Chain A
Amino acid sequence: MSADAHRTSFGVGHRKMAMWVFIASECMFFGSLIATYLAYEGRSQVGPTPQEILNIPLTSVSTFVLLMSSLSMVLALDAVQRDERGRAKIWTAGVVVLGGLFLAGQVYEFNHFHHQGLTLQTNLFGATFYVLTGFHGAHVTVGVIWMSTLLVLMFAGRRGPERALDVEVAGLYWHFVDVVWIVIFTLVYLIQ
């Protein structure tokens, strides 16, 4: 890794390119989960059905929360790039808080559905819904842990502009998780 190593063939940093490559792969992962949900829609032999149980107002709020977390993310990156360390901490904390809020909403929703009689085993809707949104939630969780780690490092004084790439790559992951939710919200909740 000597002086000539920083030149990359496409002029894009390794980790940034790696995250985009990973995101392309994740399109197939979530695509398969979504395709199964759509293929099995309407095939459950017993209820509850999506129409009976999905709560559009609540989910709209959590969709909004996740979208705003993406704004917070991009403002955090901007602050890091400009070496505005105070702002960077605030916006990064914003991502953690808003992401946590989204997860709380998911936990509430899962619990509520459970009490209304929808479990993994109840019917195909339960299976496909919980697995799809559950994996999405797991991805959000990983993202929240990642952002929290970055936040801790910021407080330890180790995130100047030379570290912007770390934040950018984390941001790409976060935005992608948001984008997947946009698709899920439309296909699962709004189009029934």
Chain B
Amino acid sequence: MTSAAPAAGVHSLYGGGIASWLTTVDHKRVGVLYGVTALFYFVVGGIEALIIRLQLAAPESTLVGADTFNQLFTMHGTTMVFLVLMPLAAAMFNYLVPLMIGARDVAFPRLNAFSYWTFLFGSILLNVSFFTGGAPDAGWFGYANLTSEQYNPGMGIDFWLLSLQIMGIASIAAGVNFTVTILNMRAPGMSLMRMPLFVWMTLVVQVLILLAFPVITVGLVFLMFDRFFGTHFYIPAAGGTPILWQHLFWIFGHPEVYILILPSFGIVSDVLPTFARKPLFGRPFVIFSGLAIGFLGFGVWSHHMFTTGMGPIADTAFALGTFLIAIPTGVKIFNWIGTIWGGHVVFRTPLYFAVGMVSMFIIGGLSGIMHASPPVDWQQHDSYFVVAHLHYVFFGGTVMGLFAGIYYWWPKVTGRMLSERLGKAHFWLTMIGMNVTFFPMHFLGMDGMPRRIYTYAAGMGWDQWNLVATIGAFVIALGMLLFYVNAVRSLRSGPPAPADPWDAATLEWSMSSPPPEYNFAVVPEVHSARPLWLYKYGPTRDTSTHTREEGTPSQPDAPPARIDLPSPSWWPLLAAAGMGVMGSGALIGLPVVLLGAGLLVTGVFLWAFQPLERPGHPVFGPASSEGR
């Protein structure tokens, strides 16, 4: 056994005090920061959901009033989309992409840290709104002109539009960073077609972010100008139209839902082969369908607007695009099924969540295809049918896929194993809970229950399913609680994880758990899309009949040649703080905006003139395993 004792590995990689975390430029630490933050906000968004469900459990309930309810569903959606799902994916692609492509870090380590801190300050700004007179209350999609100064004079919407712009900048910076990293930093022999599916899907996601976020930034800028400077971008009386907001929002918003699901598609595409003990079925098709989904995703946005009277030509065009996009999605599903089919399946928690994702996404996809038909959508739009659809794809699809990834890569990141028993219990509670919660919402939608209502009359016939849905929500919550218990227990006293606990095929399993700070002692030469299986088993496709040495990494313990890593830096944090102060300043006064701008510019200049590697930067080499 050659893997280093995980306790020491964990300490050296993650230890070092608060300052070392504030100044880190190591992609693995940045990934952990994103993950911890996202898992915190998951609880926040979950509590918001539980209060919503409690309020709706019975007709004419008075648990919360209309105003509070509007804030709750707005914050639930905004939090889950921007503060949980995106950062959880970011946690994974931050931690894993360099490991999967054989790199030592990302292309721009300090920019990476900047992305995280900017995201964090943006997320705090959003939640401060709860304490300053009210959170935003116009839905996560903030339709004009409900968001206008006239109809929404409080500060909630201002917090919303400012924090989203700030977090958008974080995402765009990461988009540049990871696009360059994936295109430019692959190990020798790792052609694009040999990259793991998670890396491919991450690349598509980054391109989508780069092309979609600028559009919502423009939409938010217009909203900001309307609210702060008296312009009339969305004001009909001046010739403007709220429909402009809808277009700009959904040109971003539709690619955004693919941004949210593709990482889970990538995770599942890498998890299923490991536990089916055979390669991903139809690998090139899975890759190309991911590309197709990304590209087509820009052509369907107005399927969210079928009820706005665009006319039959526009309706038809967008309906056609939406039907088309089901094809590459279907291709992926059949390939996943084909991967499991005929495999010697190993039943571990990551597999359960992966299969859960595929099956729940099929249901969500079916309700989505129904929405794609404009006349059908005219009945379903703004009803609970849509709430059912979006939760099947976001929760059943994205969240279950992310948990497949969390259970799969937890050993690598933490050096500990999670409990299989608790993991499977978490899975079953989630699976049962989510179907009990969200399946009845199809019925409620067909029975005419609208979205975003804080209560309903007693005689509508909606009582029973609402109560059932609320019960299901608490089953989900119980399952999630088990996960957090599992996590804490694992970190405290879980069994140490070997380098390669799942006998997997990709490069991130070739070094200790957790990895050394420099990732690879020797940059690997890649000859296959399944480099580790090739290394362990030779060029056969079936790994079920070979034995292997338990958990042997293919990387040596210590690097044979000197490795220099970038120095930590305060300046990304300073620049990010500048952005946060500027955003806050927009709500306080010009002097604070200028102060924030000053911090930002100072941070950027200090960063630009600071060498990436300064005296005392981390150095590793053959003489010592960790030299400083």
Contacts and interface: CB of A to CB of B under 8 A. Distances in A.
B244 A39 contact: yes
Nearest to B101: A9
B172 interface: yes
Contacts of A179: none
Nearest to A135: B221
Given A18-B176, A29-B214, A43-B240, 20 more contacts: A1-B566, A8-B185, A9-B186, A10-B183, A10-B184, A24-B211, A25-B211, A28-B215, A29-B215, A32-B248, A36-B218, A36-B248, A43-B239, A45-B239, A120-B225, A120-B231, A121-B231, A123-B239, A127-B233, A131-B222
Given A43-B239, A121-B230, A124-B232, A131 B108 contact: no
A26 B237 CA distance: 31
Interface footprint category on B: 35 or more
B179 interface: yes
Given A1-B612, A17-B184, A25 B225 contact: no
Contacts of A64: none
Contacts, number: 114
Contacts of B244: 36, 39-40
Contact of A121 (B229, B565, B612): B229
Interface in A112-171: 120-121, 123-124, 126-128, 131, 149
Interface in B580-608: 605
30 contacts: A1-B104, A2-B561, A2-B563, A9-B183, A9-B184, A12-B184, A14-B107, A14-B180, A17-B183, A18-B107, A18-B176, A18-B177, A22-B176, A25-B213, A28-B211, A28-B212, A29-B217, A32-B251, A36-B233, A36-B244, A36-B248, A40-B244, A43-B239, A121-B230, A123-B232, A123-B238, A127-B231, A128-B233, A131-B221, A131-B231
A167 to B, nearest CB: 14
Contacts of A120: 225, 229-231
A54 interface: no
Given A17-B183, A22-B176, A32-B218, A124 B225 contact: no
A17 B248 CA distance: 28
Contacts of B237: 45
B447 interface: no
B523 interface: yes
B120 to A, nearest CB: 22
A127 B185 contact: no
B67 interface: no
A55 interface: no
B546 interface: no
Contacts of A128: 233
B420 interface: no
A190 B394 CA distance: 47
Contact of A127 (B177, B188, B190, B232): B232
Nearest to A145: B601
B196 interface: no
A133 to B, nearest CB: 14
A44 interface: yes
Nearest to A30: B214
A52 B32 CA distance: 58
A5 interface: yes
Contacts of B172: 25
Interface in B189-215: 190, 210-215
B562 interface: yes
Interface in A173-190: none
A8 B184 contact: yes
Contacts of A12: 184
B176 A21 contact: yes
A29 B220 CA distance: 12
A97 interface: no
A26 to B, nearest CB: 7
Contacts of B176: 18, 21-22, 25
A124 B226 CA distance: 11
Interface string B561-578: 111111000000000000
A187 to B, nearest CB: 16
Contacts of A33: 218
B175 A18 contact: no
Interface string B301-331: 0000000000000000000000000000000
Contacts of B605: 149
A7 B188 CA distance: 9
